[in-house]
Amino acid sequence: MLRSLLTWFLLLGSGLLLSACCVNNTCLCQDGADDDVFLRFNLDPANKGFTAREVDTILIVRRPKDPRSTIRPDTIVIGRALANVAEPIAIGPGRPFSRSGVRFTQFIYNLSFLHSEKRFVVDPIAVESRPVDESACCTCSRNQKKVVVVNNVQYDAHDPTNEDKPVYITLNKE
């Protein structure tokens, strides 16, 4: 009995020491959006672009790739002021949908607009990362590859500087 009690105290003490160490260790990974894919729309109608009104309201439907999935399709409407339509739309682990327990790359995304007939299908999205800074309390990663296909056109969305900065994919109306 004494031996098992001592073992429990040692385990508890070790756990508390490790957690106390991690409390003082600040993770500065700065990779909250490194997996996100950023889409923006060409706003120059003279060069195959949209008018601001055409892209002010976006409907995004995501559905699982796996037909046997129990996750149902999800829809979100993004309404933007005309002054903000040049801002990109992010598709990522927590954007614009909340997390579902399935990696965001396992969905097909359909984008449509309230004021335009143009449609975009985003599928597949492929993101590969590797750890760059590991400790007992923290693991930071850096993207090695980020590829997205929009309407059967493949885009390299990986930051060429390897700093996980956003790479914007500009989509045209025509």
148 burial via Cβ count (<10 Å: 0-12, 13-18, 19+):
buried
Q: What is the mean pLDDT of the chain?
A: 86
Which residues constitute the domain of residue 116?
29-171
The verdict on residue 63 lying in a domain is yes
The verdict on residue 19 lying in a domain is no
The verdict on residue 1 lying in a domain is no
User: Please, are residues 57 and 115 in contact by the beta-carbon 8 Å criterion?
Assistant: yes
Q: Judge whether residue 110 has pLDDT over 80.
A: yes
Using DSSP, state whether 77 is helix, strand or coil: strand
The predicted pLDDT at position 120 comes to: 98
The C-alpha atoms of residue 91 and residue 39 are separated, in whole angstroms, by 8
Provide the 10 A C-beta neighbour count for residue 107: 25
The verdict on residue 40 lying in a domain is yes
The verdict on residue 8 lying in a domain is no
DSSP string, 102-164: S-GGGEEEEEEETTEEEEEEEEEEEEEEEEEEE-SS-EEEEEEEEEEEETTEEEE-S-TTSS-
Q: Judge whether residue 85 has pLDDT over 60.
A: yes
The predicted pLDDT at position 19 comes to: 54
Q: Indicate the number of domains in the chain.
A: 1
The verdict on residue 2 lying in a domain is no
The predicted pLDDT at position 63 comes to: 95
